[in-house]
Chain A
Amino acid sequence: MVSMTRDEHASLVALLQTRPGGLTWRAITDWVLEAGSAADVWSQATSGTLFETTEESAALSNARSDLDAWEADGIRFLSVLDADFPKRVRAIHEAPPFLTARGSVRPDEYAVSVVGSRAATAEGLGIARGICLALAEKNVTVIAGLALGIDTAAHTAALEAGGRTIAVIGTGIRQYYPPANRGLQDEIAQRGLVLSQFLPDAPPHRHSFLMRNAIMSGLGHATVIAEAGEKSGARAQARMAVGHGRPVILTDLVASRTQWGRDLVGKPRVYVASSVSEVLDALEKTERPESAADQLLRELSHS
C-alpha cells in the first residue's frame, strides 16, 4: 500500500514536472481525477509520445528523489486522490493536483476562513480578532492566508485562544512570504497546519495568491470577510465562494462600505453580521440546507 502511494505520488509529480504533450496542470488534474490513478495517466500520457523510455524513467526517478527530499524536510505530500486530501478542496473546480502540508492534516474538519485586507484598520483588526477568539472557543478551525493585516490577526487570535488554525499560503511551503510572518508560519506548522498548492520551492507570484484564495474558499465551510477594500484578494475570495456555492459572511464594515459588498447582499448564502454573535448565528444557519437536503432526499426515495 505504501509503495503504491509512492508510485502514485511519483507519477503525479512526474506528470506535473514534465507536462507530456504540453498538458496544463488543470488538464492533468482533471484526467487524474477521472482516471482515479496518476500512475495510469502517466503511462497513458507517455505511451506513443516522443518520450523515450529512458526519459520516462528519469522523470520518475527525479520525482521520487524530490518526494524523498520533501519528506526528509518534514513536508507531507497529498495527492488529490489520497484519502487524506481535504474533501472540500477536491469539490471545487480549482482543485489542485496536490497539496503539501506541514502540521496535522484532518481531511474532514469543520473550518471557516476569516480573511480581509492587508491594509486593515484598527477597527477591522479588532473585529477579526473577536471573531477568531470566538471561533477558537467553539473549537472551529480558523483558516486564513498568512498575509499581513486581517489574516495575521485571524491566525494570531486563534493561536492565542488555544485554537487550531490553518494557513493556506501563496508560495511553496519551503518559502516564507511575507518574510515578517516567518515565525508565525513556523508556529502554525507546529500547532496547526500550513498548506500549499505549489511545488515546495515555488516563489511568490502575482497569480498564486488568487489561486490560494480559491483553496481557502473550498476548504472552509464558510468564508467570513472581516474588512476589505474595493480591490482586494478578499473580494476575489467572496466571489469565488459564491461560485462554489459556499456561504459568505460579510461584516457590516464590508457590506456597507464597499460597492461589491453591497452588490453581494441578498445573493443566496450571503449573510451580513454586525457582531461576533451574529457571525456565529450565521454560521449555524449555513449548515442547514445541507442537512435539510439529505433529510428530504431520504424522504423522497420511493415515495
Chain B
Amino acid sequence: MADSRMLDAIVPLVEQLGSAYLRTPIRESMTTCRVCLTASPGQEMCDPCQRQYFTFGDRLADQTAFVIYARAAHQTGRIMYGYKESAPVEEHVRMVQLLFASALLGHRDCPARLAGVEVTHWCVVPSLKGRAGPHPVESAVWPFLSQSLSKITLQVQTTQEPRRVRVDRFASDVELGAGAHVLVLDDTWTTGGHAQSAALSVRAAGAGVISVLVLARWLDPNWDATKHLIEKRLNKTPPDLRVCPWTGGACPD
C-alpha cells in the first residue's frame, strides 16, 4: 500500500523538477522483461535475465523494483553519474534523494506486502571500483530507511568479469535466518550482474526473501527493441511518478 501522504509531499516536487525528462518504467508482460524492465518484446524475460535464471534459479532476487529509466546522452544518464562524482553535482544529488525517498517512503510497505514477509534487513551493492569514502547509494538511502531495519555489509570477494553474475562476487558479514527479508539497494542496473550477485550472496547467508530496489534501469538504445520502447512508449507518455516501482501499477494490497 502506498503512503499517500508521503507521495503527496514528494511527487509534486519531483514532477516540477524532473518530469520533463524523467521516464517511469513500464512493467508489461511481453513488452518489458518482468525482472529488469528492459524491452523484451514477445518474451516474459529478456535474454540476459533468462540466462541468469537458467544458471541460478530461485537463488536470485524474488522481486525487483525500478524508479526510473536512464540512458546515455540524456539528462537521466548524467544524473546517475553526477550525483556520485568526487565533487557531486548538487542538483543531481537532490534528484536522486527525491527519487529514493519516493520509493522508500512512498512505497515503504510494498515489498513486504508483495512477499507476505516484513522487511528485516537492508544492504547496498558494493562498488567494484574500489572508490574511497562513503558509498554514494548508502549516503542517498540511509536517511529514508527505517532505523528498525538491520544493515548488512557485503564485502567484494572478486572483481573478475565485473558484469557477470557470480556467487563468489560478494560475501555477507552476517548469517541470516530463513525469516529474513533483505532489501538490496543499488543506483543503476545495466545487466543485473551486480544486484543479482548481491542477491546470491545474501541468499547464501540464509535470507528467505530478497527484494532488489534499483533507482534506474539503464537503457541501451543501440538495441532495436529498446530504441522502439523509447521512441514509441517512453517519449510519448508523461512519467507517472506515483506508479508503484514494485508492481508497475497500483500498489499491492
Q: Which residue of A lies closest to B90 (CB)?
A: A87
Q: Are B78 and A87 in contact (CB under 8 A)?
A: no
Chain B residues within an 8 Å CB radius of A245? 17-18, 20-21, 75, 91, 95
Contact with B along A262-303 (1 / 0, CB 8 A): 000001110000000000000000000110111011001111
Q: Are A268 and B16 in contact (CB under 8 A)?
A: yes
Q: Is the interface of B mostly helix, strand, loop or mixed?
A: helix
Chain B residues within an 8 Å CB radius of A296? 9-10, 13
B163 within 8 A of A: no
Docked pose: A222 CA to B204 CA in angstroms: 51
Given A289-B13, A302-B143, also A268-B85 (CB < 8 A) = no
Q: Are A33 and B81 in contact (CB under 8 A)?
A: yes
Segment at the B interface, from A3-11, A91-99, A122-130: A91-99
Docked pose: A293 CA to B135 CA in angstroms: 23
Q: Are A297 and B81 in contact (CB under 8 A)?
A: no
Q: Are A290 and B147 in contact (CB under 8 A)?
A: no
Docked pose: A204 CA to B57 CA in angstroms: 58
A30 within 8 A of B: yes
Q: Are A244 and B81 in contact (CB under 8 A)?
A: no
Q: Are B85 and A34 in contact (CB under 8 A)?
A: yes
Segment at the A interface, from B46-54, B97-105, B110-118, B216-224: B97-105
CB distance from B12 to the nearest CB of A (A): 8
Interface Cβ pair total, 8 Å cutoff: 84
Docked pose: A297 CA to B10 CA in angstroms: 9
CB distance from B121 to the nearest CB of A (A): 18
Instruction: Classify chain B's interface size.
Output: 20 to 34
Q: Are A289 and B17 in contact (CB under 8 A)?
A: yes
Contact among B13, B20, B82 with A243 in the assembled complex (CB-CB below 8 Å) = B20
A174 within 8 A of B: no
A83 within 8 A of B: yes
Docked pose: A269 CA to B21 CA in angstroms: 12
Q: Are B94 and A297 in contact (CB under 8 A)?
A: yes
B237 within 8 A of A: no
Contact among A30, A83, A92, A242 with B81 in the assembled complex (CB-CB below 8 Å) = A30
CB distance from A174 to the nearest CB of B (A): 29
Q: Are A268 and B94 in contact (CB under 8 A)?
A: no
Q: Are A87 and B10 in contact (CB under 8 A)?
A: no
A178 within 8 A of B: no
Q: Are B20 and A297 in contact (CB under 8 A)?
A: no
Q: List 9 A-B contacts (CB under 8 A).
A: A33-B81, A83-B87, A87-B89, A95-B78, A243-B75, A245-B21, A290-B94, A296-B9, A303-B105
